[in-house]
Structure 1
Amino acid sequence: MVSEATGTGEATGAVGNTGDGGDGGDGGGTGIGGYADILRAPHAARLLAGTLVGRLPHATGPIAIVLFTRAEGGGYTLAGALAAVYGTATAIGQPLLGRAVDLRGQLRVQLPAAVVSALGMVVLAVAGIGSLPLAYAAVFVAGLFTPPLEGGLRALWPSVLGRTDRVHRAYALDAVAQEIMFTAGPLLITLFVSLWSAGAALLAINAIGVLGALVVVLSEPSRAWRSAPREAHWLGALRSGGLLALLGSFFFVGLALGSITVAGVAYADDHGRDAIYGWLLAALSLGALIGGVFYGARRWAGPPERRLLVIVALLAVGYLPLALTPGVVAMTALAALAGLFLAPAIACAFVVVDRHAPRGTVTEAFSWLVTTFGVGAAAGTAAAGPAVELGSTSWGFAVAGAGGILALLVLTATQKTLAGPGRAVDVARSIPDPPARSAENDRNGAAEPGFSSGPEA
């Protein structure tokens, strides 16, 4: 039997042809057509768009808080502290709310959380920073109740798309869409500030976020979704050794990215042009977009755990040359190279999370990935600052290289744990199992998680 820690092939009968992870022979496209196939599926475009819009407050939260604090006359120290409280609260709240979604369903948790989070930002925008305890409490509430829409969407994909290969391709599309959101979101908030004010921008972006959450939770798949039954355990998703191994690795991936944001500012200062920082981040995002599109546009054979090891190795190799800090043109090219394997690593990690999340904890498990990544990014920014001040800009980028290497070492050291039995995608109980499906077929169906061109021999 599949171990308790990795689930029991929950609801695998609702996924077409999970045994080989291939296209199931029903016309699923490859290449760019594969993405079109995903978006043509009923509800898919609505869920993806609604989730991205609903997550805009999270994507813009730190910069919105900084801009608002500065507009109110606060210093950078206060702005940074408020943004840090927001980020910390978000890291705490995501797995807690994710577990609540698994227990209570999406509608009962996601929408109330979105409303409470938005109200926290409303309090900040209306009350300002005159009362610091109130300001800190407002951003803490806003962060703590940030709805786990990201984990919720990944829990919905199996019930919306059915076949395993389409679900995996949706994960890649999800990773690519994130790059667009985290690039466009800050631009949107700065546009709102220039058109109105920092306070109005804060109100507008959070109102938009609530509308996005509403679009998701009122959809038929979200309303019908129920997590598979779970065995009560205080550790929840964290009782899975495979999930812990993945989270350990992606803490260091987050650390690498966080350090790049600080080192990039130092590099721009060294060259006397603030715009260079924007070029570096844009190049990083462009590389991730290209890599993510390519990764999701083809089928992949073999277990995703082994594939993730290779991708993270390439990601680590891409981070190392940044420490050379060459001229601006070459550095921009290196930034694009460094981003090339980021979206594929994230997309592949989604598959691994889904396979190793204990039964009935899929939303919580995905939310833990969000939290771990965010905490790692915060640690990266904290480490890169002293590295630049005590050493040089190269030292700041060296933190990114070290993060990539450590992520690879964690994956390498835990391959035996990750190679343990996983399960097929967590499909909502609301979809009935085919009558001919047996427990033995479920166990066999969980054996091959990756994309493949046809059935296993």
Structure 2
Amino acid sequence: MGATGYLELLRAPHAARLLTGTLVGRLPNATAPIAVVLFARADGGSYSLAGALAAVYGLANAVGQPLLGRAVDLRGQPRVQLPAAVVSALGMVLLVGAGTGTPAVAFAAVAVAGLCTPPLEGGLRALWPGVLGRTDRVHRAYALDAVAQEVMFTVGPLLVTALVALASPAAALLVINAVGVLGALSVVVSGPSRAWRSADREAHWLGALRSPGLLALLGAFLFIGAALGSITVAGVAYADGAGGDAVYGWLMAALGLGALLGGAVYGARDWTGSPERRLLAVVALLAVCYLPLALTPGTAAMVLLSVLSGVFLAPSLACAFVVVDRQAPQGTVTEAFSWLVTTFGVGSALGTAVAGPVAQHTGTSAAFAVAGAAGLAALLVLAATRRALAVPAGRDGGRAPAENDRSDAPEHGFSSGHQA
């Protein structure tokens, strides 16, 4: 089916608009680390301050996503997504206006911006069943979602650097966040977003986290996030000894290219059987492909290994989205997807924190070995929790009948599920 299947998907009413609006709305989040660091440095802040501001933004974002996701499940998308996007953008406006001269204000500003980042990812995945109807189309949409995310995380930083070159870091922050609000607005004024309602939920303080299967999945993706975080640091260490920033750019671009290719091929295929079992196999392949990075060969070979290391990333995410959808307790679908985003982000931060000292004191190969170890840990978590993952929690999704179909029928088009 290939590209034809994706084109058919995008021709469905509202599909292209929702995907595009979500990606545009997420630009502030995708570019915040680099945009905040560039602004802080241009404003006279130290590297330590710049890094700390970016870290606070990431931590606040990790806290805010599941909280806002639960609010979306309870109150609907327009009442939460758009106000959150506006407040998040105002946090960045405060940062630009106040500067870094008063660190307490700067930290408060990025904390507000991160905490109020709207959970557009989870919101989009909750909308797909009602918009697309057929299960095979929903699964293909999850795959396309994962692939589009790789493009966004590649293009976003390039857009920031272009705006910095044309204007200034402050202008880049303001423009990106203004565009993000417009993206969120485009989503929430659409018919599907306004009409969507979460299924009735059982009152429970744990919300989506009361699902053992979801907890197992989150545990695994904490380590996959750690693997990616460690690669970003290990890549810097490798580039320092092999040619500098240009080499680092090639390595990261190769990683993204591998994920894009893998996701595109995975989403173009028809799949049968349990997505939970398939996730175990895909994560096993992902873990195996991380291991050769520790060899740290010459630049050309390292670029090829980076492509290989990314091939099973988007398929893992896509399959995880289906599993999240199946494991989320009724009425918690947006929150469940938001927890995956949070867990992945926290894992990435942990991987970065571990790989830095390892690279400094042990060497580049050892830093890349952290990624391999984290990938194997993710595989072990999934293998140890197969029983918990074997029983779907019962489908959520809102009013659409397709969302109430959690059968184990053959999955078509891609049979995967989310994006982190």
Asked if 1:107 is matched to 2:67, the reply is: no
Question: Number of matched residues?
Answer: 412
* 8 Å Cα contact 1:353/1:365 also seen in 2: yes
1:5-20 alignment to 2 at 5 Å?
none
Which residue of structure 2 aligns with residue 427 of structure 1? 397
Which residue of structure 2 aligns with residue 192 of structure 1? 163
Partner SS state of residue 398, structure 2: coil
CA deviation string 1:247-305 (max 9, x = no partner): 00000000000000000000000113220000000000000000000000011000000
Gaps of 5+ in 1: 1-29, 435-441
1:256-267 alignment to 2 at 5 Å?
256-267=227-238
State the TM-score, normalizing by the size of structure 2: 0.97
Q: Following the alignment from structure 2 to structure 1, what is the Cα–Cα distance between the partners of residues 410 and 28?
A: 33
Asked if 1:39 is matched to 2:4, the reply is: no
Asked if 1:304 is matched to 2:264, the reply is: no
* 8 Å Cα contact 2:197/2:398 also seen in 1: yes
1:452 Cα deviation from its structure 2 partner: 4.9
* 8 Å Cα contact 1:312/1:407 also seen in 2: yes
One-letter amino acid matched to 1:214: L
Partner SS state of residue 302, structure 1: coil
1:44-123 alignment to 2 at 5 Å?
44-123=15-94
Q: Following the alignment from structure 1 to structure 2, what is the Cα–Cα distance between the partners of residues 140 and 312?
A: 33
CA deviation string 1:231-258 (max 9, x = no partner): 1100000000000000000000000000
One-letter amino acid matched to 2:344: F
Which residue of structure 2 aligns with residue 220 of structure 1? 191
Which residue of structure 2 aligns with residue 244 of structure 1? 215
Match of 2:293 among 319, 322, 327: 322
Asked if 1:209 is matched to 2:169, the reply is: no
Gaps of 5+ in 2: 414-420
* 8 Å Cα contact 1:305/1:352 also seen in 2: yes
One-letter amino acid matched to 1:77: S
Which residue of structure 2 aligns with residue 292 of structure 1? 263
Which residue of structure 2 aligns with residue 26 of structure 1? none
Which residue of structure 1 aligns with residue 382 of structure 2? 411
CA deviation string 1:22-64 (max 9, x = no partner): xxxxxxxx22111111101000000000000000000000110
1:363-402 alignment to 2 at 5 Å?
363-402=334-373
Partner SS state of residue 230, structure 1: coil
Q: Compare CA radii of gyration and give the structure with the larger one.
A: 1
Q: Following the alignment from structure 1 to structure 2, what is the Cα–Cα distance between the partners of residues 285 and 451?
A: 26
Match of 2:122 among 143, 151, 169: 151
Q: Following the alignment from structure 1 to structure 2, what is the Cα–Cα distance between the partners of residues 421 and 200?
A: 47
Which residue of structure 2 aligns with residue 27 of structure 1? none
Partner SS state of residue 79, structure 1: helix
* 8 Å Cα contact 1:422/1:447 also seen in 2: no
State the TM-score, normalizing by the size of structure 1: 0.89
1:422 Cα deviation from its structure 2 partner: 4.2
* 8 Å Cα contact 2:35/2:160 also seen in 1: yes
Q: Following the alignment from structure 2 to structure 1, what is the Cα–Cα distance between the partners of residues 202 and 409?
A: 24
Which residue of structure 2 aligns with residue 275 of structure 1? 246
One-letter amino acid matched to 1:333: L
Q: Following the alignment from structure 1 to structure 2, what is the Cα–Cα distance between the partners of residues 46 and 452?
A: 23
* 8 Å Cα contact 1:257/1:400 also seen in 2: yes
Which residue of structure 1 aligns with residue 406 of structure 2? 446
One-letter amino acid matched to 1:289: L
One-letter amino acid matched to 1:447: S
RMSD: 1.2
Q: Following the alignment from structure 1 to structure 2, what is the Cα–Cα distance between the partners of residues 410 and 32?
A: 34
Which residue of structure 1 aligns with residue 417 of structure 2? none
Which residue of structure 2 aligns with residue 136 of structure 1? 107
Q: Following the alignment from structure 2 to structure 1, what is the Cα–Cα distance between the partners of residues 172 and 394?
A: 44
1:450 Cα deviation from its structure 2 partner: 4.9
1:449 Cα deviation from its structure 2 partner: 5.5
Match of 2:136 among 165, 180, 183: 165
* 8 Å Cα contact 1:229/1:360 also seen in 2: yes
One-letter amino acid matched to 1:172: A
One-letter amino acid matched to 1:282: A
Change (3 A) 1:309 1:449: farther
Identity of aligned residues (%): 72
CA deviation string 1:287-334 (max 9, x = no partner): 000000000001100000000000000000000000000000000000
Match of 2:200 among 213, 219, 229: 229
Match of 1:336 among 281, 286, 307: 307
Q: Following the alignment from structure 2 to structure 1, what is the Cα–Cα distance between the partners of residues 244 and 218?
A: 37
Q: Following the alignment from structure 1 to structure 2, what is the Cα–Cα distance between the partners of residues 346 and 207?
A: 29
* 8 Å Cα contact 1:54/1:211 also seen in 2: yes
* 8 Å Cα contact 1:34/1:297 also seen in 2: yes
Higher normalized contact order (CA 8 Å, seq sep 6+, divided by chain length): 1
Change (3 A) 1:449 1:366: farther
1:68 Cα deviation from its structure 2 partner: 0.1
Q: Following the alignment from structure 1 to structure 2, what is the Cα–Cα distance between the partners of residues 162 and 413?
A: 34
* 8 Å Cα contact 2:230/2:352 also seen in 1: yes
Which residue of structure 2 aligns with residue 358 of structure 1? 329
1:102 Cα deviation from its structure 2 partner: 0.1
Give every structure 1 segment of 4 or more consecutive aligned residues whose post-TM-superposition deviation is greater than 4 Å. none
Asked if 1:345 is matched to 2:319, the reply is: no
